[in-house]
Amino acid sequence: MFAMTNRPDGSWLMSGRLDAGAAEQARSTLGAISDTCRLDCSELDYIASVGLGLLAATQKRLLDRGSELILTNLSPHLREVFQLSGFESVFRLE
Amino acid sequence: MNDLLAIGLDPVTRILIALGPILLLVGAFYLLDSHRLVSPRQLLQALLAGGVCAGAGFVLNNLLLRLSGLSLLAFAIMVAPVVEELLKAAFGAWLVRTGRVGFLIDAALLGFATGAGFALVENIYYLNMLARSDLLVWSVRGLGTAVMHGGTTAIFTVIYFGITRGRGDRRPGVAALAVAILLHGLFNRFLVHPLWTTAVAILVVPPLLAVAYRVGEHRLQNWLGTGMDRDLKLLRLIRSGEVGSSPLGRYLQELRSRLGPARAVDAFCLLRLQAELNLVVQGGLLLRQNGLKAELPAEVGEKMVESSRLQRSLGPTGRLALRQVSPWDGGHPWQLRKLEQWRQEIPS
């Protein structure tokens, strides 16, 4: 079960598994982000290739506007995935 | 129409028609490759290799024409296509067998560029040699012959790679070469109707390449989807420390009894390293697909060296046993070459 919850400070909490089954929901939420935004990944259990692709597309769109996605609280495994796949150099990880 | 085709062309227009369309087509196919599987350097290498083939073909054709005693037309239909396609295919086969091609997209693009390089050098030669300057001659050479040369080599490379994936039997290469020679021979046979053959080349070759691109894109997306997910799951499993109770763990136990404990450990380390290196390539392609360029992780070079060392240590039997669960999916020479290419292009 994947969910994205908007917080009062404007950041988003991602929880559950961001896989093919959650792609449409994530696409629609990420598509609505138009300014620099923090994504809290502390409750994100798993990310599949489709999720990485969505994050990359969103980051590209935002970077072109001078904004960015900032990913926070990644688990050690997700941090390793970002580091190995080269995503670490495209996203600010906090 | 005949009056139009008989129009004399000034030298600059002749050069533009002789060389422009094929270069534009190469450029268009390069831009259609959204993952940038082929680097500008590789594209240039393929064009140059095609040019060298044209030079070698010129020498061989002249020699064989003298020795054979055939008429020019008979030679153009029966011998020249064999010589020229053999030369171009030799480079295409080398690309495939050395892991420089990973998908049908780069097979089609590099094959087409090799043929285009051949046609460019041939047309430069004819620009100097042919006294005729009418639109018909240069339209046929610039559009028909050039597209045919690019098309036949692309078809050879696509068929050869599509069947063998760069491994094993060489017989599909002979069959692919036969198709290229046949198409080239037919083109030359019907050159008595130059407008028709040119029209056929233009109408057939680009759509054929578009099909190769589409099929290649499907396979690439599949590899970036299910292939990457498999690697992600494998890494997660390894990190969780629960490999022992998983099907993979049971398979590694079986390997231990077959290969001994030391090689079973090597197999496990290689499995992890390969999944990690796979993820570097997949992540890089995914970012490029979205117009982003990633830096390579600092330790990629060391991992590539270690991966080669472990593969040697495992030996052919160990590697064969590991293939059942290996994330390389048999395509590792291409992945390693891609990593090497990126290491040269972008800083770690």
Domain boundaries, chain B: 2-219, 241-345
User: Which neighbouring-strand residues pair with A43?
Assistant: A15
Q: Is the pLDDT of residue B251 over 90?
A: no
Helix axis angle, B300-322 relative to B261-289, nearest 10°? 120
Put simply, whether B239 touches A (Cβ < 8 Å) is yes
Interface test mutation site (partner A, options B36, B276, B280, B286, max chain A beta carbons within 10 A): B286
CB contact under 8 A, B229 and A89: no
List the single residue in B with minimal CA-CA distance to A90: B294
Query: From the list B236, B291, B297, which residue is nearest A84 (CB)?
Result: B297
Closest of B24, B51, B16, B23 to residue B138, by C-alpha: B16
Query: From the list B284, B289, B291, which residue is nearest A86 (CB)?
Result: B284
CB contact under 8 A, B239 and A83: no
Task: Tell me what the mean pLDDT of segment B49-68 comes to.
Answer: 95
Pairing of β A69-72 and β A92-93: parallel
Nearest 5°: the CA angle B304, B305, B309 is 115
Query: From the list B232, B280, B290, which residue is nearest A56 (CB)?
Result: B290
Cα(A37)–Cα(A62) distance, rounded to whole angstroms? 10
User: Which neighbouring-strand residues pair with A13?
Assistant: A5, A40
Cα(B87)–Cα(B89) distance, rounded to whole angstroms? 5
- Top-confidence residue, B25 or B133: B25
User: Which neighbouring-strand residues pair with A26?
Assistant: none
Q: DSSP code of B244?
A: G
- Give the ipTM: 0.89
Task: Tell me what the mean pLDDT of segment A1-16 comes to.
Answer: 91
pLDDT value of residue A32: 92
Cα(B267)–Cα(B244) distance, rounded to whole angstroms? 14
Set out the domains of chain A in order of their start, with CATH numbers. 2-93 (3.30.750.24)
Residues in chain B within 8 Å Cβ distance of A84: 235, 276, 279-280, 283, 297
Residue A59, token pair as written in the block: 């980051």
Pairing of β A92-93 and β A3-6: unpaired
Q: Is the pLDDT of residue B59 over 90?
A: yes
Q: pLDDT tens digit string along B20-34?
A: 889 999 999 999 887
Nearest 5°: the CA angle B218, B159, B277 is 50
Q: How confident is the model at residue B300 (pLDDT cuts 50, 70, 90)?
A: confident
CB contact under 8 A, A19 and B224: no
CB contact under 8 A, A84 and B276: yes
For chain A, the residue count is 94
Put simply, whether B278 touches A (Cβ < 8 Å) is no
Q: What is the CB-side half-sphere exposure of residue B300 using CA atoms within 13 A?
A: 27
Minimal CA separation from B96 to chain A, in Å: 26
Q: pLDDT tens digit string along B75-112?
A: 998 999 999 999 999 999 999 988 899 888 999 999 99
Minimal CA separation from A8 to chain B, in Å: 30
Task: Evaluate whether B96 touches B157 at the Cβ level (below 8 Å).
Answer: yes
List residues of A whose CB lies inside 8 A of any B CB: 19-20, 46-50, 52-53, 56-57, 59-60, 63, 76-77, 80-81, 83-90
Cα(B163)–Cα(A43) distance, rounded to whole angstroms? 45
pLDDT value of residue B314: 82
Task: Tell me what the mean pLDDT of segment B68-75 comes to.
Answer: 90
Q: Is the pLDDT of residue B54 over 90?
A: yes
Residues in chain B within 8 Å Cβ distance of A76: 239
